[in-house]
Amino acid sequence: MSRAARSIKSSSFATAPMKAATMGSDGLSRQGLVDYLHQLLDCGRFRDYGPNGLQVEGCDEILRIATACTASRAAIEAAVSAGANALIVHHGILWDKAPLPVTGMLKGRLAPLLRHDCSLLAYHLPLDAHPVHGNNAVLLGELGLKDFKPFAEYYGQPIGLWADSPQPLLISDLSHQLSAIVGHEVLHCPGNGEQVSRIGAVTGGGQSCLLAAATAGCQVLITGEASEQSWHEAQESGCHLLAAGHHATESIAVHRIGEALASRFHLAHHVIDIPNPI
């Protein structure tokens, strides 16, 4: 099990109104789960790359859930092998630019879900941006930061968070601290100065938000990936970029959501951690 999966721990779980979560005769209803997460993560605010919420419909009653970063075939097969009634992920299988025919890879992912009547729920930008339960908030919290502020708008909605450190940090120390959280070396695109105090986060493929981070006064942006231009943009904007892995920066929050759902609605929860170095 990776560091990300091991770092699941209880946290205050914002209470969405109970009317949004319908209880079935034995457990939580599928629609109740969908409605609860839709309201909790405020999904209606976002224009996204694919649908948030229910992507594949399974059985009506939810007794066991599984969580994974990505709905890969391996993760789906692990979920159905664990007897999950629903798999909750950050990266689903339906995207705006994905081909429509159900063939090849898409068929391979859909088949076990349909065969075992397992629902698939995916939350992309809502799970990135949430100020308490989202990927950015969780990662900044792992660094000991709090009092997050939003930045980096996408179609009018902020998808990043920044926070000020109580004391200035050496960028090398921050990089080492981040490496310890994600379990591997972090790529550093250097900006200006050896010390940083305002730290921004746009997890996953957030390298295009580097200039927005600099505009927000951040001395460093933490994200998952770097592009060729990231090296030059960091030097020219003065804002450091730390690329800690797309998967690694987005593989903690979804499991914490699952753990909190399991506790709140008395569900079994199975953590699926498929290693991915990218």
Task: Compute how many other C-beta atoms are within 10 angstroms of the C-beta atom of residue 10.
Answer: 9
- 14 in any annotated domain: yes
- Cβ(1)–Cβ(33) below 8 Å: no
Q: Are strands 220-223 and 240-243 parallel, antiparallel or unpaired?
A: parallel
What is the per-residue pLDDT for 16?
A: 47
Euclidean distance between CA atoms 47 and 49, whole angstroms: 7
Furthest C-alpha separation in the chain: 60
- Specify whether 63 is located in the same domain as 116: yes
Same domain, 64 and 83: yes
Residue 150, exposed/middle/buried by CB under 10 A (0-12, 13-18, 19+)?
A: middle
Q: Rounded CA gap, 189 and 241, in Å?
A: 5
Distance CA 227, CA 233 (A): 10
pLDDT tens for the chain, residues 1 to 278: 445 444 444 444 554 444 445 555 467 999 999 999 999 999 999 999 999 999 999 999 999 999 999 999 999 999 999 999 999 999 999 998 777 899 999 999 999 999 999 999 999 999 999 999 999 999 999 999 999 999 999 999 999 999 999 999 999 999 999 999 999 999 999 999 999 999 999 999 999 999 999 999 999 999 999 999 999 999 999 999 999 999 999 999 999 999 999 999 999 999 999 999 99
Q: What is the pLDDT of residue 26?
A: 61
Query: How many domains does the chain contain in total?
Result: 2
Which of 263, 254, 264, 257 has the alpha carbon at shortest distance from 92? Answer: 254
Q: Are residues 148 and 118 in the same domain?
A: no
What span, in angstroms and rounded, lies between the C-alpha atoms of 71 and 110? 10
In a domain, residue 276? The reply is no
Q: Are residues 108 and 139 in the same domain?
A: no
Whether 170 is in a domain gets the answer yes
Give the H/E segment covering residue 242: strand 240-243
268-271: strand order across its sheet: 53-56, 119-122, 86-91, 64-70, 268-271
Question: Are residues 86 and 195 located together in one domain of the fold?
Answer: no
Q: Which of 45, 261, 232 has its CA nearest to residue 156?
A: 45
Residues 185 and 211 both lie in one domain: yes
Which domain does 219 fall in, by range? 132-244
Do the domain assignments include residue 278?
Answer: no
223 and 200 part of one domain:
yes
| Confidence at residue 27, expressed as pLDDT on a 0 to 100 scale | 72
Query: For residues 122 and 113, what is the distance between their CA atoms, to the nearest angstrom?
Result: 14
Is 277 part of any domain? no
The CATH number for 199's domain is 3.40.1390.30
How many whole angstroms separate alpha carbon 91 and alpha carbon 231? 27
Q: Are 236 and 257 part of one and the same domain?
A: no
| H helix count then E strand count, the chain | 11, 13
Query: Are residue 86 and residue 26 in the same domain, yes or no?
Result: yes
Same-domain check for residues 83 and 143: no
**Both 70 and 17 in a single domain?**
yes
207, 200 contact by CB (below 8 A): no
Instruction: Specify the pLDDT at position 112.
Output: 98
3-state class percentages of the chain: helix first, strand second, coil last, to nearest 5: 35, 25, 40
Report yes or no on 26 lying in a domain.
yes
Contacts of 16 (CB under 8 A, 6+ apart): 36, 39, 40
For residue 6, the model assigns a pLDDT of: 43
- pLDDT for 97 equals 79
Compute, in degrees rounded to 10, the torsion defined by CA atoms 28, 34, 35, 36.
60
Domain co-membership, 55 together with 156? no
